[in-house]
Every structure is written in structure tokens, then in C-alpha cells.
Structure 1
Amino acid sequence: MTLGGANTANGYSGGDYLSEESVLRSYPLYPTKKRRCCNVNGDGFTIISACFCIFTTALTIAFIAQLNYGSPQVTPHGAVSTDEEECSHVGITVMRDGGSAVDVAIASILCMTVVHPHAVGPGGSGVMLVHDHKTNTSTVVDFMSGVPRSHRADEDQPLPTDGRSIGVPGLLRGLEYAHTKFGKLPWRKLFQPSIDIARKGFFVSAHLEEALGKSNVTQVDGVTEFDKTFFPRGIMLKKGAFLQRENYAEFLEVVAKHGADSFYALNFGVEEMEALQENGAEIHVKDFEDYEPRERPCIHMSLNNMSVFTAPAPFGGPQLLTALQLLRNTNLTTHLPLSNYYHSFIEAIRRSYAGFVGLADAEEAELQNMTHALLQSTSSEWIDQTVTAADPNVFRLPEQTASSVSVIDTFDRYVTVIAGLGTYFGSRVMTKSGILFNNHLSNMPPHSHPDSEHFSHARPLNTYTPVIITDVQQVCGMRAVLSSPEVGAMIQVISQLLLRGQNLTQAIQQPRITIRPGLDQVFVEDMGSIDRLPGTVRNDLQTMNHTLQIIHLPYSSVNGVSKTKDKLVSRSDARGGGVAHRLEPASTHTVNITTDL
């Protein structure tokens, strides 16, 4: 199996027609034996009348249900969007085999741990947002890195490649928790595609090459596992190089068979603990044993008759809602010049970040109150043409990266998951099994260490932003599932979608700017396959006293799926290099969706 290639073992690739039979008929639609609804020995008129009443009642109930929820038996379809076509293919295959949206998300993110090791892996952490549209219920599964008990929070902020930056990994425990609660297929079945890819090998993506180039590795000794994997024979991996990960496949086999405890009970413990301690990490065995994911309530707001659901702190949701509130107060209209929008994006991102990082020092019990106060503080603020200077003293989160997956399944369940290592390749501490550890503790500013159990396994602040959007007034109106490791990118996409009236494809494809904390520069993308920010807009922003600077690859992506009535649009952001896949009835071609259908 190779990246971007056909899956000959299964007899189809992303461009073939996919059967919906297993999704449609995971259980019989009608009883296999004929049953009579009436006693044949009774009076004929009574029989006819009774059967007629039953029939009309059933028809009425079915009609009302279809008006409210649609009919998956009529048009069974779903979609998955990731940063790698092979992983979208894995996800849609799991959906075809009857997997739930959570099963699809787990299988897809496990695939990403194989082919995008620079962004995500078992040594990382993340967040999952699960929404059942039919019951209108949402769950946030927080599996962000835990803070070791021995962490000295009063010391200087650790550098990204400092062993002290490594938090207790949450990925496998979080995925297992979500699977136990929402999964349908066996745990092992979700691992098998990734095991096969790791063992058979795959072609290195452009995104992995770009991340290696950005890692600024100037000296390779060929001794560390990191060097052996990514700089074989002292030469950096390039796009198109063939890479096999046999050791990692063996690790996945063990976890598939024995569950996440095989990692957290440290069946690989000697190897892992030696790697961690040699690099100065503060994690001990008990930190691994005690780690648990957490369920958190969603936070949400209403914007233009749409509900925007997202994850609370320590994730990027509070900054997202604060920025959207500022933009709503500013009363942007579709008739405004594009430069006004980008000016507003810049100001909204900068102002909302200043409040968001104030949550970094909050104790767990105070997060909800502090988030509410943050949103209230901007309830009457609006954005004018005055440029707000960046505060050079503001705490600066390292630039985050991660893999993101968005899923809508055939039964209107929506899932968005974002998981990562922190910055590219995390701490660069790598085991013989191919596990890279995160550097999420570099996201924590120095602060006093409370001597209380509540601080144990606190969560460092990060910008991972899962979003689900639903129509307030119409059950079958537009719904969207979006995921990104970068809250600033998500602010712009949702604004394009809900304030400018763009469709999903246009909103994701639009040029984006990047704002970095503490810096007055506005970073502009320069990528050939993405529309550049128009020259007139750049000139107008400079006239408004914004200083522009080019930012080079790789960029943060936003992956999404939207649905209006039974019409699906799926989009993998070109910035991440992915291709989305969709499951449709057999008469419909399943391809990467780049435009509305």
C-alpha cells in the first residue's frame, strides 16, 4: 500500500465507486419473515380497518421523522477529511464497513501517526468533539498532555526541544475512551490499516519534507532514532522517498491486541523511561499510570442564526468565540471591501489572544468562570480602523502543529479530532519503536505551583480548535464539522463561512493571514496552489499601518465537511496536502471534493 495509490488488495481506490451496502444494511431494514398484523379469522371489515389505521399511523410517523431528520436509508452517505489522502481512504473504508463517526476518526488519526510522524503520534495528545445531531448532544473528550507531578512550574519556560517540555501523553488513552463510549467496530480493526501501511511502507509526503526542512537540523550524527528515521545515511528524507516503519508497526500490533494499557502500563517501559530520563523529562511511571482523559462541556455561541460549538480551555475555543463576538459586534457585511475583513481578522485575533493566554495560569476549578468573564468582557467591544499594537510582553505560545480529522457519518453523527506533538516533531525524543514525545509543556508560562491534588495532571494551554456548526432554525439546514490546530486559521474560515456567505470550499481556500503573539507583523501566505492575498488588499492593509511579511510552507490547515439537507461537501485544505473522501450511493462517484456538488 502506498500513499496516494490504489488499494489493490481491496480492489478500489479513492476514485472508484464505493458500495454503501454495509452502511445501509448493517441490520435488516425489514423482518426476514412475513408477519400478519391481523387475525385472519376475524371479520373482514375489522381487519381492513385495523390494517388501514396501522398503515396510515406508521406512514405519518415516518413522514414526520423524515422531515426532521432525513432518511439515511434513502441516501446513505458520509465523508471524512484529513491531511493525507491515504488516511481519508482508511476512514471512508471503516465507514463503509459500518463504523461510527468516532471509529472513522480513530482509524484516520492512527493512519496519520504513521505517515505524518512529524505532527502526531502516541507520544502526543489532543481533543475530540462528538455531536449527535439527532439528539442535539455534544461531548468534548480532552486527552491533552498531563503535567507531571514533579514539574517545577516556577522555573523558566522550557524550550521546545528541552526534555522538561514533555507532558504525559494522552493520545491512546483518549482514543480508547472515545471508542469505548461511541465506537461500534472492534478496537483492533481500527488499527489494522495503519499496521499494514507502516509495515508495507509509504511514500514521504511534501508536508513531511517541509517539516524536516523547517526543523533546522544542522548536524546529524546517525546515532539517535530521530536521525536514523528521518536522515538515513545522513541525508534528509525528501518527498517521494519510500519509508517503512516496521518497529512502529510492531508497537501498533501490541496496542491493537492489548489496548492502551500496553502503553500506559509501560509494557515498553524500559525503552520509554530511558529515552525520557536521558533527555531530562520530569515524567515518572506513576504519571503514566494515573493519566486519564476528561469529558468537558462544550462552549458555544449563536452567530447569524447558526450555533458554533467548540471545546473550552485548555483548547482554542475561548479565543475563537471571543474573536467571533468582536467580529459580530463590528457588524461586517458582504458589501464591505475585502481589506476591511482582513483588517478585522487581524484585530480580532490579536485582541482575543491577549485574553485567551490569561487562562494559562488558571486552576482547573476556575477555568469555566474565567472563560465566561473573558467572553463577557468583549460583549460590547467592536473593531474600528485603529491598529492595535501587539504587546511584546504577552506570553507567547510556540507555533502549534497537529493532524486534524473531520467526519460526518451516515447517521448524522459528527466528529472532529485534533491531535499533535506540539511543534513539528515535538521534543524530538524518539524511542526505538518510533514513538516521538510531545513538547506541550513549553506552552506553560512560569507560575506558582499549587500544593493541591487539583493541579496533578493539569493541562497546558494550546490552540487546537474543533468546531461543529448547526442551523438554529432548521434541523436539516447547513451543518459543518471543522478542525484545525491553529485558532487564528479557524477564526478566518468561520468568518468567511458565516459572515461573508462563502461555501465550505471557498471559506477554506481563501487566502489567510497569520498573527504571532507579541509581534506587530502580519504574515501573508505565498503558495502557488492557493490564491494569494490580492495586491489591492495588501496595499490597503499597509495603508492601515499593518506591516506585512511573507510566511513560507508549511501552513496550518483547516479540514471540513458540511451538509445541507442530504447534500455533502467535503474539503481537505490544500495547505495540509490532504484529499477528502466521501461515501455515496453506488451511482455516485466518490472523489476528492474540491467544489460544491
Structure 2
Amino acid sequence: MPHPAPRRFILRRAVAALGLCLFLHAPASAQDAPRRSPAAIAAPHPLAAEAGMAMLRAGGNALDAAIAIQAMLTLVEPQSSGIGGGAFLLHFDAATRTTQAWDGRETAPAAARGDLFLVNGEPMPFRQAVIGGRSVGVPGVMRMLEAAHRQHGRLPWAQLFAPAIQRAEEGFPVSARLAQAIAAEAEPLRQDPGLAAMLFARDGTPLAEGATLKNPALAATLRAVAEQGADALHRGPIAAEIARVVRGHANPGMMTGDDLAGYAPRRAGALCRPYREFRVCVPPPPSGGLVVLQILALLEHTPLPQLAPASAEATLLLADAGRLAFADRNRWLADPADLPVPVAGLLEGAYVTARAQALDPLRAIAHPRHGNPRFGIPAAPQPPQPEAGTAHLSIIDGDGNAVAMTTTVEGPFGAHISVGGFVLNNELTDFSFRPEIDNLPVANRVAGGKRPRSSMAPALVFDGQGRLVAVAGSPGGSRIIGYVAQALVAMLDWNLDPAAAAALPHVGPASTQVELEEGTAIARLAPTLQGRGLPLHVTGMPSGLNLLRVRREGNETRILGGADPRREGVVLTE
């Protein structure tokens, strides 16, 4: 195991020397707290947004609303997120002008080892790894939200679950997206008794769009959480059932009651970096926020603000900045508690400047490779693996507090097993299936108690006076990083409103290759970009961006919102 004290000391010295902001973002005094202002929620599902707004109307704050939304998403979007998964959350306290990052990422069971996904020394097929107990990480989202609520919440904990409990008992109409997900995953879903009861009609057919889905088992679970807190999931009968189902599956995992009882969220200062006249804050690793900051840092060296959003030149710069950052991600990003991540080195001015010299709007980088930042420890690059699932919510309350939270069970439908009306995640498949390559360890290898690398990248943006400017994030697996970076560029460089930024055709890194969103103006650039040497693939890119932007004109403050038109999310304002 690494020696944490010396490495923490080295990292702190490096952060201080480089002027990075791995700290509680506090650019102004508490006396400068904003006056009562509009409130807004951008959430993945109308019922979830309404649950959050109900908390704001009841006198709650942004953190209260986020918990109510998460509870409702467990019911209405089980294919993407829920209390059986994990999350990253950024919280901005307007009164003190501080920003905190909360890490509720799942952990590997203590008994897990680097060969978890190997068969006869070779990686097992991805789908085989996903379905069953082997892929289930210790859930962290409710422990994280409970800890954040103790510090930031305003309403009583139990009150936050009332909307989801009521809707689980009364039922809700199945959306088109949920119906499609059930149909696509019907065969493995049928194998789990709880999911079969939840997601299929009495005649055994998958629930269709518009059908009523009731989940009394989830209502009972949420009552237990409302009464007992997160302990309801980490100790006692529900926890025992989680461990039993995971270990007893035909594809068994290693989780124990001790793993569940011992889970603890992490709280840290946000990782912040200037971007032009703004400051962008994200959660530290293992979130994907560091990669978003690296993309933006590279783009600072380009004339992107002067280029048209759908131009070949802008698209190529976004693509190659992403390819460079992903090369570093595959080499360096992992759980920093297991292996130090060279955060300071990857964002160091000289390092970024040297990497940015390869960016050319007229010629793609032939072979983007990882760099060698200061404080890096030798390791092997991780081969590409699928990532999916996830939901994102953005909230600003009437006091100016804000939450950006990305939450997931991976999936779709996580590991395709359930307990108490909720889906268990398959987040352990975010680890590298190969623990070492060419006699070098892979940074993101499996280890007991470790958190897998994530693409989730909730973001908060501030202006030069420390005032909140934007709240951003998206689902989408490994595409999240590109989605968020492009949306931030759209709002900050091109001054697009959030709705236009969310609807912008996508270009995004997919390891060494680049994806262009099919059926859009950017897809029509494919021949031009290929002629400039860019390896690309035109495909569907179903992001779920939920964006908020604060506009100030004199004494008037307005909040504009954008929910991704590719999904069913909504923006509510008051």
C-alpha cells in the first residue's frame, strides 16, 4: 500500500506552488451573500424536478431538493440512477461563498483483487462481467447525501422522501425512454424476481410507454431510509439482503455486511481552475472533472471564442483537446487514495502549454499520447472499456445556494439485480479488467476498498468576483467528459444560453477516436475532418445535459435553464 503522508505533503506543496484551487472556494466574505433571488431546477425527469421544487417551496434549500430528486429518480429512472449506486456532488454555499465536493462513489468489497474480471488470465467478456453480483460496488449515494444534509440541509430528513414514497405507491406513467430500456434488456431483467415484478406486466410482457408502474417495495425501503437514515441500507435487514443477493448470484460477488457497514463518503474542497475570465470547479479524482479542466486548459491556447460553434475548425480543436486529455486520463486517472493522481502536474501551466502546441484547427494530431507530468508514478495506460448510465441534476435555490450532482447505477439497470425495489449498480466494471500490462500496474486496477475511475463531472462556474455563473453536468458514460466540456465552451466562449448549449450537436473524444453526433450539422463535417486526418465515427450521442446560467443585469438576476432535448428532462423556475 502507498505511504499516504509523504504523498499528501508532495501534492499540497505542488498545489500551492501552481496556484491551483484544491480548496474550499471562498473568494468573498459572508457579508456579500446575495439577496433572495429566483430558484431553478434542471432535472432528468419531470416528476423528479417537481419533487425537488416541492422542497424549495416548503422552505428547503438546494441540498434538500437534490435528495428529493434522487429519491424520485430511483423510482422513475431505474435504468440510470438510484439509491443502489453512487454519485459526485458539488455544493455552493452562497452565505459563506464556499464550494465543497462530496464523493459518494461506490467501493470495491474488501476481498476484491486485481483478477476480479479475469478468466484464465484473460479479461472476461464485458457483458458477462456486468450481469450479476461480481460487478456490484458498495453503494455510496445515500451515505453521501446524508453526510451533506447534516452540514447543509434545512428541512427534516424524513420530509425529503415523501414525494417519492407517495408516487411509488400510487404509480407513474412509464416514459418512452424507460419503456425502450426495459424492452432492450428484457431477458436478463426477467431473471431477477424483483425486477420482473417491477418492470413487466402480468402477462410477462415489458411495460410499455404510458403503462402505470407501481413499486411498493421501494416505498417500504424509502420509508426505512426516511426513518433510519442511510443506515437502513448499510446495516440491518436490507444490508443483509444486499450482501446475500450479491454473493448468492450465479455470477457471484464478494460483498459482505462489513463492506456495507464500513462505507464512508469523502468530503473535500472542489478542484478549481481558471478558464479565461471564469473559474470552473469540479470534484477531485476519481471523478472525470479533472479531464474536463484539462480540456479547457488546452483550449485556452486556441482562438475558440472567435470560431463558429459548428465550424470544422472549432470541431477539430474540441476533438483533439479531448483526445490529448483522454490519453492522460487512460494513463493517470484512478482513486487517489490507492495511487496518487498527478493533479497538479496535469494542470501545470508549462505542461498544458507544451501539450497544447499540438492543437491545429487545420490538421488533426496523428497519434495523441499521454504526457509525463510532474509527480506521476509509472503505470500502464488502461485499454478502452464501455461506460454507460447516469443522470445529472442542477439546482439553484432562492438564496443562491447551488448543487451540481451526477448520480449513477451504470447499466442500463446496473447489474440487473435488485433488492427492496431498487437496482444494484455494476460500477466495478469501471475498473480496468487488466490489472497490469507489460509488467506495469494499471492505475485503475481493482483493489479492495478502492473507488473506480469515473467520467462523472458535475461543474460549477464562477466569475472574477466569485459569483455563481453556471451549473452544469450530464449523463452519458465516458462521453460525459466531452459533453460537459463542450457545454461549458458553448456558454462561456460562445455565450449561448443553456438551452442552445444543451442542444448543440456533439463532438466528443472516444479514446483515440472521435465521435460526431449523427443527423446533425457536425456530422456533415465528417469528410472535411477526415481529410484533415481526424479518425472519427458518426453515431448517436444521447446526452442528458441539465444546465443553469445566472444572468445579472444591474440589480436584476435571472436564471436561464436548459434541459437536453435528447431526453425527457425539464427545467422548473420560480
When normalised by structure 2's length, the TM-score is: 0.81
Matched position secondary structure for 1:364: coil
Q: Which residue, out of 49, 67, 71, partners 2:35?
A: 71
Distance 2:366 2:212 in 1: 48
Aligned partner of 2:134 in structure 1 is: 164
Aligned residue runs from structure 1 range 141-540, under 5 A: 141-155=102-116, 156=118, 159-215=129-185, 217-218=186-187, 224-232=193-201, 233-279=203-249, 280-335=252-307, 338-360=311-333, 363-364=336-337, 366-367=339-340, 370-376=342-348, 377-382=351-356, 383-384=359-360, 385-389=363-367, 394-431=382-419, 433-445=420-432, 446-447=434-435, 457-472=449-464, 474=465, 479-485=469-475, 486-517=480-511, 520=513, 522-526=515-519, 532-534=520-522, 537-540=525-528
Letter in 2 for 1:426: G
The alpha carbon displacement at 1:201 in A equals 0.2
The alpha carbon displacement at 1:134 in A equals 4.1
Cα gap change, 1:200/1:388 in structure 2, threshold over 3 Å: closer, same or farther?
A: farther
Letter in 2 for 1:515: P
Letter in 2 for 1:71: R
Distance 1:252 1:67 in 2: 39
Cα gap change, 1:189/1:541 in structure 2, threshold over 3 Å: closer, same or farther?
A: same
Q: Which residue, out of 554, 563, 567, partners 2:550?
A: 563
Distance 2:77 2:209 in 1: 12
Deviates more, 1:133-142 or 1:420-429: 133-142
Decide whether the 8 Å contact of 2:102 with 2:267 is kept in 1: yes
Q: Could you report, residue by residue, the CA deviation over 1:301-335 in whole angstroms, capped at 9, with x for unpaired residues?
A: 11121000001110011110111111111232324
Distance 2:188 2:114 in 1: 31
Cα gap change, 1:439/1:535 in structure 2, threshold over 3 Å: closer, same or farther?
A: closer
Aligned residue runs from structure 1 range 531-550, under 5 A: 532-534=520-522, 537-550=525-538
Letter in 1 for 2:401: R
Distance 1:220 1:288 in 2: 24
Matched position secondary structure for 1:386: coil
The alpha carbon displacement at 1:248 in A equals 0.8
Distance 1:91 1:221 in 2: 32
Distance 1:287 1:265 in 2: 10
Decide whether the 8 Å contact of 1:387 with 1:544 is kept in 2: no
Decide whether the 8 Å contact of 1:313 with 1:359 is kept in 2: no
Distance 1:362 1:220 in 2: 31
Cα gap change, 1:219/1:79 in structure 2, threshold over 3 Å: closer, same or farther?
A: closer
The alpha carbon displacement at 1:536 in A equals 5.0
The alpha carbon displacement at 1:258 in A equals 1.3
Distance 2:161 2:191 in 1: 30
Letter in 1 for 2:558: K
Letter in 2 for 1:395: P
Letter in 1 for 2:292: L
The alpha carbon displacement at 1:284 in A equals 0.7
Aligned partner of 1:120 in structure 2 is: 81
The alpha carbon displacement at 1:124 in A equals 0.3
Letter in 1 for 2:53: I
Distance 2:286 2:181 in 1: 25
The alpha carbon displacement at 1:366 in A equals 4.8
The alpha carbon displacement at 1:425 in A equals 0.8
The alpha carbon displacement at 1:434 in A equals 1.6
Aligned partner of 1:573 in structure 2 is: 564
The alpha carbon displacement at 1:92 in A equals 1.1
Decide whether the 8 Å contact of 2:72 with 2:163 is kept in 1: yes
Are 2:99 and 1:138 equivalent residues in the alignment? yes
Aligned partner of 1:97 in structure 2 is: 58
Q: Could you report, residue by residue, the CA deviation over 1:216-244 in whole angstroms, capped at 9, with x for unpaired residues?
A: x4577566322332233332222212111
Decide whether the 8 Å contact of 1:361 with 1:447 is kept in 2: no
Letter in 1 for 2:259: D
Aligned residue runs from structure 1 range 5-16, under 5 A: none
Give me the identity figure in percent. Answer: 25
Distance 1:455 1:219 in 2: 28
Matched position secondary structure for 2:210: coil
Deviates more, 1:308-317 or 1:571-580: 571-580
Cα gap change, 1:456/1:535 in structure 2, threshold over 3 Å: closer, same or farther?
A: closer
The alpha carbon displacement at 1:338 in A equals 1.5
Matched position secondary structure for 1:209: helix
Letter in 2 for 1:464: M
Decide whether the 8 Å contact of 2:48 with 2:72 is kept in 1: yes
Decide whether the 8 Å contact of 2:509 with 2:515 is kept in 1: yes
Cα gap change, 1:266/1:533 in structure 2, threshold over 3 Å: closer, same or farther?
A: farther
Distance 2:189 2:482 in 1: 34
> Which structure: larger Rg?
1
Cα gap change, 1:78/1:375 in structure 2, threshold over 3 Å: closer, same or farther?
A: same
Distance 1:222 1:508 in 2: 37
Unaligned runs of 5+ in 1: 1-63, 527-531, 584-597
Cα gap change, 1:212/1:223 in structure 2, threshold over 3 Å: closer, same or farther?
A: closer
Cα gap change, 1:569/1:108 in structure 2, threshold over 3 Å: closer, same or farther?
A: same
Q: Could you report, residue by residue, the CA deviation over 1:393-415 in whole angstroms, capped at 9, with x for unpaired residues?
A: 74224223212111111111111
Q: Could you report, residue by residue, the CA deviation over 1:268-299 in whole angstroms, capped at 9, with x for unpaired residues?
A: 24432221112201111110111011112211
Cα gap change, 1:500/1:87 in structure 2, threshold over 3 Å: closer, same or farther?
A: same
Distance 1:423 1:309 in 2: 27
Distance 2:234 2:189 in 1: 31
Matched position secondary structure for 1:118: coil
Aligned partner of 1:10 in structure 2 is: none
Deviates more, 1:498-507 or 1:385-394: 385-394
The alpha carbon displacement at 1:164 in A equals 1.8
Distance 2:221 2:199 in 1: 19
Are 2:43 and 1:82 equivalent residues in the alignment? yes
Unaligned runs of 5+ in 2: 1-27, 370-379
The alpha carbon displacement at 1:113 in A equals 0.8
Letter in 2 for 1:379: T
Cα gap change, 1:244/1:471 in structure 2, threshold over 3 Å: closer, same or farther?
A: same
